[in-house]
Amino acid sequence: MKIIGLCGGSGSGKGVVCKLFNEFGIDTIDTDRIYHELTSTKSECLDELVMEFGERILSDGILNRSVLRDIVHAEKKYLILNDITHKHILGRVRDLIDEYEKRGSKGVIVDAPALFESGFDQECDYVICVYAKMETRINRIMERDGISREIAEKRVYAQISSDWLRDNCDYVIENDSTYQELRISVLAAKMKFFDLL
C-alpha cells in the first residue's frame, strides 16, 4: 500500500485537496482532526499536556487550544509541545493505515501540516506539497478564521516556508487558480500515484 504525505502551509488548501482525493476514491487521514479528537476527551495525550502545561489549559475537561497556543508562544515551548503531540498523533495515523490496508486500500493520503517536523515524511513513499502564493494564503486565512491581516501574516511566517516545502517534496499541486483547475491537478496526481499500482 502506498503512503503519500500531504503538506503545505496554512491557507494553501490541503483540506480541499483531500476532499478531492476522497471524491476520486482515495482514502485520506487528517492529522489535525486526530489532534482535535485526542484533546477533546480524556486521553494519554491530553494527560501529558496537562502535566507539562498545567490545568490552566483545560476548559470543561477538554483542551482550550487558544490558551495552550498563547502559553507555548510566550514560553517558547514549541519543541516540548511537538514532542508530546506528535507521538500520539502518529501512533493513531499508523493504526489507521493498518486498518485501511486490511480493508484492501491501495493507498492513503496523510494530511500532515507538520509532516517534516514530526519525521513522518520518512515513513511516506512520496510527499506532495500543496502550494499557493503568500498573498493567496493570507487572504484565505483572514476569510476562513475572521482574523486581521497582521495575525494571519504571523501564522504564515511562523511556519516552514512554502518554497522550502516545494523544493523538498516529490510532487507539487498548485492551488492559486480556480476550483476546476485544482480538481484537474488532483486528478492528475491521483492517476500518477495510484492508478498505476
User: What pLDDT does residue 74 have?
Assistant: 85
Angle between helices 65-75 and 78-102 (to 10 degrees): 130
User: What pLDDT does residue 69 have?
Assistant: 86
Full-model pTM: 0.90
Phi, psi of 129 (to 5 degrees): -105, 130
Phi, psi of 98 (to 5 degrees): -60, -40
Angle between helices 134-145 and 149-157 (to 10 degrees): 120
Condensed to tens digits (0 to 9), the pLDDT of residues 94-144 reads 999 999 999 999 899 999 989 999 999 999 999 999 999 999 999 999 999
Condensed to tens digits (0 to 9), the pLDDT of residues 166-178 reads 999 999 999 999 9
Alpha carbons 157 and 134: distance in angstroms, whole number: 10
SS3 content of the chain, % helix, strand, coil (to 5): 60, 15, 25
